[in-house]
Amino acid sequence: MTDDILRPWEVRSSRTLVRDRWINLRADRCVTQRGAELDPYYVLEYEDWVHVVALDEEDRLLLVRQYRHGAGSASLELPGGKLDAHESDPIAAGARELLEETGHAAPSLRHLARLSPNPATHANWIHVLYGEGAKEIAPLNLDSGEDICVERIPWREALALALGGGVLNVQHVGLLAIAFARMKGVTIGG
């Protein structure tokens, strides 16, 4: 029975409720493997997201602080954003986002993971990239809805800040933990 429960649901119909530059929301009529009908079941369709864990030449983590309307407060975050419609390479998109939001470029970026932001409701992926030796090479190039302050924090302090609640976005906390566990050998917890 376990294999049957884990198979994809049957989607009997699907309709788009909202589609604009910010959000695509669809409502599916689904039937689970046990026969339960879920109508509507809402799914958010975004472009993939990319976030960059970038260290400068002094081993400081590049973070951006910006107002986030959903939370109603400023948020300390990793630089990043969505892959544009014409982009398919998360590394190129991450390099673009890093440059736009921090004015920095890293000699190389490494793709660490592709994860789901919320597998229950989101159809997109988050890509986390890692780079060292980032240098400031240009002024910020922000979108109309972005007002950003760049902060450079020694990476160990930044990780402690994130794990202590100083980074509001739980996805970014997890991405930092993944990056520093893989690239710096940090053990989280235990």
- What mean pLDDT is predicted for residues 130-155? 94
Q: Residue 24 forms beta bridges with which residues?
A: 19
**Nearest of 188, 138, 184, 175 to residue 63 by alpha carbon:** 175
Tens of pLDDT, residue by residue over 7-55, are: 999 999 999 999 998 899 999 999 999 999 999 999 999 999 999 999 9
Please tell me the CATH superfamily of domain 49-184, with its number: Nucleoside Triphosphate Pyrophosphohydrolase (3.90.79.10)
Q: What is the pLDDT of residue 3?
A: 67
Q: Is the pLDDT of residue 5 over 70?
A: no
Q: Is the pLDDT of residue 185 over 60?
A: yes
Tens of pLDDT, residue by residue over 70-128, are: 999 999 999 999 999 899 999 999 999 999 999 999 999 999 999 999 999 999 999 99
Q: In angstroms, what CA-CA distances link 49 with 32, 82, 94, 98, 187?
A: 29, 4, 9, 13, 26
Q: What is the pLDDT of residue 59?
A: 97
Q: What is the pLDDT of residue 50?
A: 98
Sorted by where each begins, the domain ranges of the chain are: 2-44, 49-184
Contact (CB, 8 A) for 38 and 9: yes
Q: Is 72 exposed, middle or buried (0-12, 13-18, 19+ CB in 10 A)?
A: exposed
Q: Distance between CA atoms of 40 and 55, rounded to whole angstroms?
A: 44
